Amino acid sequence: MFQDRFKNKIAIVTGAAQGIGRGVAERIAKEGAKTVLVDRSDVVLEVAESLKKAGYDVLAIQADLETLAGFNKMSDRVIQTFGKIDILINNVGGTIWAKPFQHYEEEEIMKEINRSLFPTLWGCRSVLPHMISNGGGVIVNVSSVATRSVNRVPYAAAKGGVNAITASLAFEQAPNHVRILGVAPGGTEAPQRIIPRNENPQTDEERMWYQQIVDQTMESSLQKKYGTIEDQVSTILFAASDEAKYITGVTIPVAGGDLG
């Protein structure tokens, strides 16, 4: 851990209640940032409280980030509380269903896009004016190597969009001293989710389709294994830090050699 690497920085981490988002929020707070943990689950309040008790400067906000209004409301509160936004980690997203594309219903496709594309799009739109007026900032968009994958085409489309946002915005915002990077996790070992993305139990067929994802992920990785949450957290925080100040407009795969 790099002590005080983010001292005097105001950092927003979305999807901070569990998984990679929680790991990022905990690490960046411990490395000196005043950290805003955002999630629509009230679990985020418990995560923030544990960090406060340990002496870290954090703020928890429950918000629906699938709308610009929801993101703007959260960003405005951060500005009112801390006066600026230096870092945004756009982490909200994740596969809801896993099945061949011909089995997706229209509503399911829309929900996948709303979950894994729009929070990043709205997040960038919401914080950019604040970063520009403050003289710069960093946005790290959490993507996925599942842009080349089986049984999750809508999710792949959403994360492909995240990669395009990252590349295009970096071109556009470099004159404003705003760096935009992506980090694309591969298969990552994580504790069982407190709140599942899909609340309905899997059928036997759905379990088979999900196993095909696991098998393909292992096969695509040169290291033939899943990574850890810490593998993802370390890369995301590197991207957000001044150590990466000469890197922008790229998405870094963290997937054991799978380039997505």
For residues 206 and 219, what is the distance between their CA atoms, to the nearest angstrom? 20
- In the chain the domains, ranked by start, together with CATH numbers, are 10-254 (3.40.50.720)
In the structure, what pLDDT confidence band is assigned to residue 71 with cuts at 50, 70 and 90? very high
Q: What is the mean pLDDT of residues 236-241?
A: 98
Hey, what's the torsion of the CAs at 209, 211, 214, 220, to 10 degrees? -70
Which phi and psi angles does 180 have, rounded to 5°?
Answer: -125, 120
For residues 223 and 64, what is the distance between their CA atoms, to the nearest angstrom? 37
Q: What is the mean pLDDT of residues 190-197?
A: 68
Residue 190: its pLDDT value, please? 83
In the structure, what pLDDT confidence band is assigned to residue 196 with cuts at 50, 70 and 90? low
In the structure, what pLDDT confidence band is assigned to residue 215 with cuts at 50, 70 and 90? very high
Query: Where are any strands of DSSP class E within 163-241?
Result: 178-185, 188-189, 227-228
Residue 23: its pLDDT value, please? 98
Residue 128: its pLDDT value, please? 98
Q: Which two tokens stand for residue 109?
A: 């496709």
For residues 101 and 17, what is the distance between their CA atoms, to the nearest angstrom? 30
Q: Are strands 10-14 and 251-254 parallel, antiparallel or unpaired?
A: unpaired
* Per-residue pLDDT reduced to its tens digit, 163-172: 999 999 999 9
Hey, what's the torsion of the CAs at 58, 186, 148, 195, to 10 degrees? -50
Q: What is the mean pLDDT of residues 187-204?
A: 76
SS3 call for 258: coil
Q: Cα–chain-centroid distance for residue 219?
A: 24
* Per-residue pLDDT reduced to its tens digit, 1-50: 677 999 999 999 999 999 999 999 999 999 999 999 999 999 999 999 99
Query: Where are any strands of DSSP class E within 196-248?
Result: 227-228
Q: What is the mean pLDDT of residues 126-146?
A: 98
Residue 1: its pLDDT value, please? 61
Q: Which residues are catalytic?
A: 155
Q: Cα–chain-centroid distance for residue 53?
A: 25
% pLDDT > 70, the chain: 97
Residue 114: its pLDDT value, please? 97
Residue 191: its pLDDT value, please? 74
* Per-residue pLDDT reduced to its tens digit, 148-161: 999 999 999 999 99
Q: Any idea how long the chain is?
A: 260
How many angstroms separate the Cα of 141 from the Cα of each of 35, 54, 163, 212, 260?
A: 17, 28, 8, 27, 15
